[in-house]
A and B are shown apart, each in its own frame.
Chain A
Amino acid sequence: MKLIFEKSKEGRTAFSLPKLDVPEVKIELENELLRKEEPNLPQVNELEVVRHYNELERKNHSVDSGFYPLGSCTMKYNPMLNEEMANLFNNIHPYLDEEQVQGALELMYNLQKYLGEITGMDAVTLQPAAGAHGELTGMLIVRKYIEDNGYTNKTKVILPDSAHGTNPASAKMAGFDVVEVKSGSDGRVDLEEFKKVMDDSVAAIMLTNPNTLGLFEKDILEIARLAHEHNALLYYDGANLNAIMGKVRPGDMGFDIVHLNLHKTFSTPHGMGGPGSGPVGVKEKLKDYLPKPIVDINEDGKYFFNYDIPKSCGRLRTFYGNFSVMVRAYTYILMMGKEGLKFASEMAVLNANYLRKKLEKEFDIAYDEICKHEFVIDGSFLKEYGVKTLDFAKRLLDYGIHPPTIYFPLIVHEAMMIEPTETESKEELDRFVEVMHKILEEAKTDPEILKGAPRNTPVRRLNETIANKQLKLRG
């Protein structure tokens, strides 16, 4: 398909502007600062733009178009209401007087409270723009905490080898050395291995719980005890919170800091990979290190931005965070209510376990036991038919199903991580199981079908090697 730039034709336009209605002045600028060559932007008319983006849109798989069991990414349905509510708040400038944005501030204040309640934390900032941004915020809070308490020898952050890549990257960006701890044969943090690396030089431990294998860290209370014994902080990567809303609270298990992905658990759309929103909650003792500002309320019942956080870790982004994503999450929380959030988690876990059971006979489940919201298939067994997880995944595309996350977590060979979420019906899950079995049958009888897949997609298998060798990064 042509690029919009290639559809361009001199003299066409999709734009109109009122005639300049003020008297013109001559532009008094050094000649070198005036644009000589106009940027080569497309010259197309409106219908061409409309057709172009309609065509592009048709080439995307999305939650709205079909099953999307992409583990760890929590592709649940994004309610239509969320969008309509977000649009009510489009026309607010960040530097209006607080008096003029009391509604927005109240929403933020309430959301801070709700997220604190759900996670069992005492204070929440909504500033981070995504999960990884929340992690960085959390790690900078850790930094301030150790500086403030004079723990000069604390230089390390421990995280499991099953951790999401953002965890080590965030810890590193905050200036820590990363220590990976091996998972045990049961897929959880191995307590003995953990004890070997746990000492006073550890500033924090980053965990997601349930972890990226969908398993609950059953030794969490002991890990928390050990961490605190060494004055280290326990950080919770809340990207996987969808399994436990209203059932388990990180704060009650000993976690000191948590980030949430509103674009996962709280049903805000992922927008092709952003915007997200990654609020961070902390326990009382860390409140003074939060980024500035947070939303507060004064005695007169007026909401305001509180910049008076003297030990703050600073500012992580301009303005106040991804406000319109917050509106979506807030809408969702109101719609679901306390019982709905809990039910959502229960059904997400039910769906995952149902799929796991339905697939376990024919597929090799990496850790075949009660899981939480997701589970991992070890695709190594496919080798005997001459195919790989990648081939299997590409064949799923032919059946209109988005494949699970593949090759992650790194500790499972040929991994396929399946997360159905609570918004899929039993019928849809059954159809998925049927397709999985069908493809397995194809692998056994005619593996070339898998290796040549996909065939029914807008393009066939794409050549990544060429893309990386002969870099072509713009039209």
Chain B
Amino acid sequence: MKRFPYIPHTEEDIKEMMNVIGIDDIKELYKDVPKLFEGELNISESKSEIEVKRELLELSNRNANLEDYAMFRGAGIYKHYVPSAVYQLATKRNFLTAYTPYQAEVSQGTLQALYEFQTAICELTGMEVANSSMYDGGTAVAEAILMASRVNKKHKSLVAKSIHPEYIEVSRTYTESQGLEIELINYDEKTGRIDLEDLKDKIDENTSSVVISYPNFFGVIENIKRIKEVLPEKVLLIVNAYPIALGLLEAPGKLGADIVVGEGQSLGNYMSFGGPTFGFFASKQKYIRQMPGRIIGETVDADGKRGFVMVLQTREQHIRRAKATSNICSNHALMAVIASVYLSIIGREGLKEIAYQNYQKAHYLAEKLIETEKFDPVFEGEFFNEFVIKPKFDLDKFNEKLLEEKFIGPLNLGRFFDDMKNYGLFCTTELNTKEEIDYLISKVGEIDEINL
């Protein structure tokens, strides 16, 4: 009998167990199956750990490992510094290999960690309540639109064209089948901010929500307050926020947001090719019963000792089935805990300092690039750590050149916007050194020689 490292059964065990069951052959356990698969799966035979490791190492070596690269690309996933303690703590095996905290008494680790996560998200966003995570930023936006529609019973969402283009796609996918409508709001070509006139024109009595990003996909910082001012009272303002920026920018809750969501990757999570990351989701307390997802609350045990449990489960699919606020079940708890550990480590001062450095480095880069006179500025609006500029040469070829030097250049916005072909979306974080930035700029200086 072949042995497998993850299965403990010996031949003798199997015999004894079959005896107890009263069968002579494992086949009898499948005798009620009307159509057995008689062939062999077209999958290789089992391998040893050494072989599997070699195979995966070989695969991973065919990817660029960004640890070794200078990174100037963001667009939704950011290369931020992850302090050593974060993964060592958050991926301890009793966190990693636990399930949903159905038995609260033996899940206090999970429950308290997620409760602390909710607390931190409320602090960051300036909102009253938060859930314990969504799949990612895109699904969080989509679910926020659905939630707003449950709150005010209206069916049209006005979504800024300047939020992440994939979030718009996800939102369309999520809402179309429920008869909700999404209409896009233009950005002001001069500032890169949402076009307030266009927004005002499109608001009507069916409008349920307005969705903006803060900063937006172009890195431009929207003025939430001014947007809120033009909204009728019943229309909910959904803000998709970049959490690192909230170390510098006023909390959306203070400026009139009703629901604040976002992609949490930059809070201590690896880039991992875009997943898993997590979505955060916060709102005003009065909307809590329309919120999707798991929520943790504080309580006491039989001795009056503090403890934590899942609350408001009657919103959730396992109780309410077809009438639930959402179908979400497994969420991204581990990623949320990673964020919680990260925020505990960087703390109040760290977040402020990281945000400040992100801002400063991007502004230094932008200024230097413009000085080369090989780029045209695009938007006037203030930006955070990302910005759009338009090179007077072929961006893709420039990126190829940079790659040879282990630099990842800006994203070509032509990927998402037909009218922005050859526009570059540059990004810097606290990890970009001045030396790197200066080197990138020197490369721009060589452009004529590299014959673009």
* CA of A61 to CA of B105, assembled, Å: 9
B56 touches A88 (CB 8 A): yes
A41 touches B327 (CB 8 A): no
Chain B residues with Cβ below 8 Å from A107 are 56, 59
Task: Find A370's partner among B31, B122, B333, B415 (CB 8 Å cutoff).
Answer: B31
* CA of A337 to CA of B348, assembled, Å: 49
A354 touches B351 (CB 8 A): no
A462 touches B104 (CB 8 A): yes
Residues A101-158 near B (CB distance < 8 A): 101-104, 106-107, 114, 117-118, 120, 129-133, 135-136, 139-140, 143
B63 touches A89 (CB 8 A): yes
A169 touches B97 (CB 8 A): no
Which residue of the partner chain A has the closest CB to B365? A22
Task: Find B14's partner among A120, A350, A370 (CB 8 Å cutoff).
Answer: A350
Chain B residues with Cβ below 8 Å from A100 are 63-64, 403
Which residue of the partner chain A has the closest CB to B224? A33
Q: List 27 A-B contacts (CB under 8 A).
A: A13-B347, A13-B350, A33-B255, A43-B347, A46-B345, A49-B85, A56-B109, A59-B106, A95-B411, A97-B403, A102-B62, A104-B273, A129-B275, A132-B328, A169-B317, A175-B178, A247-B30, A249-B37, A252-B37, A269-B96, A274-B133, A274-B330, A275-B334, A323-B274, A357-B20, A402-B106, A473-B129
B249 touches A33 (CB 8 A): yes
* CA of A18 to CA of B429, assembled, Å: 12
* CA of A143 to CA of B270, assembled, Å: 35
A103 touches B326 (CB 8 A): no
Any chain B CB within 8 A of the CB of A300? no
* CA of A162 to CA of B254, assembled, Å: 46
Which residue of the partner chain B has the closest CB to A163? B321
A274 touches B334 (CB 8 A): yes
Q: A334-B46, A397-B103 are in contact. List 6 more A-B contacts (CB 8 A).
A: A42-B348, A59-B107, A90-B272, A320-B273, A340-B4, A344-B6
Chain B residues with Cβ below 8 Å from A50 are 85, 89
Chain B residues with Cβ below 8 Å from A33 are 221, 223-225, 249-250, 255
Task: Find A175's partner among B118, B177, B288, B347 (CB 8 Å cutoff).
Answer: B177
* CA of A55 to CA of B372, assembled, Å: 54
A271 touches B96 (CB 8 A): yes
* Distance between A201 CB and nearest chain B CB, rounded to angstroms: 17
Residues B370-412 near A (CB distance < 8 A): 382, 403, 408, 411
A59 touches B108 (CB 8 A): yes
10 cross-chain pairs, A with B, having the tightest CB-CB distances, nearest first: A319-B274, A337-B46, A271-B334, A314-B173, A103-B62, A94-B274, A275-B276, A169-B327, A467-B299, A60-B109
Any chain B CB within 8 A of the CB of A301? no
Any chain B CB within 8 A of the CB of A333? yes
* CA of A159 to CA of B166, assembled, Å: 32
A53 touches B6 (CB 8 A): no
B37 touches A318 (CB 8 A): no
A178 touches B5 (CB 8 A): no
Chain A residues with Cβ below 8 Å from B324 are 165, 169, 172
Q: A339-B45, A423-B6, A423-B7 are in contact. Are A273 and B99 (CB under 8 A)?
A: yes
Chain B residues with Cβ below 8 Å from A350 are 9, 14, 17-18, 21, 26, 29
A129 touches B332 (CB 8 A): yes
B223 touches A314 (CB 8 A): no
Any chain A CB within 8 A of the CB of B190? no
Residues A70-103 near B (CB distance < 8 A): 70, 73, 75-79, 81, 83-85, 88-97, 100-103
A274 touches B333 (CB 8 A): yes
B136 touches A467 (CB 8 A): no
B32 touches A216 (CB 8 A): yes
* CA of A376 to CA of B223, assembled, Å: 56
Any chain B CB within 8 A of the CB of A405? yes
B333 touches A271 (CB 8 A): yes
Chain A 313-329 near chain B by CB (<8 Å), digits 1 or 0:
11111111111110100
B46 touches A273 (CB 8 A): no
Q: Pick out which of these stretches binds chain A: B65-73, B147-155, B231-239.
A: B65-73
Task: Find B99's partner among A30, A270, A342, A351 (CB 8 Å cutoff).
Answer: A270
B100 touches A467 (CB 8 A): no
* Distance between B238 CB and nearest chain A CB, rounded to angstroms: 16
Any chain A CB within 8 A of the CB of B281? no
B275 touches A323 (CB 8 A): yes
Chain A residues with Cβ below 8 Å from B61 are 103
Chain A residues with Cβ below 8 Å from B120 are 39, 41
Chain A residues with Cβ below 8 Å from B369 are none
Which residue of the partner chain A has the closest CB to B61? A103
A129 touches B273 (CB 8 A): no
Residues B292-317 near A (CB distance < 8 A): 294-303, 305-309, 311-312, 316-317
Chain A residues with Cβ below 8 Å from B135 are 129-130, 133, 317
Q: A68-B99, A319-B275, A460-B302 are in contact. Are A39 and B118 (CB under 8 A)?
A: no
Any chain A CB within 8 A of the CB of B344? yes
Chain B residues with Cβ below 8 Å from A12 are 347
Chain B residues with Cβ below 8 Å from A468 are 297, 311-312
B45 touches A338 (CB 8 A): yes
* CA of A107 to CA of B57, assembled, Å: 11
Task: Find B112's partner among A1, A49, A221 (CB 8 Å cutoff).
Answer: A1
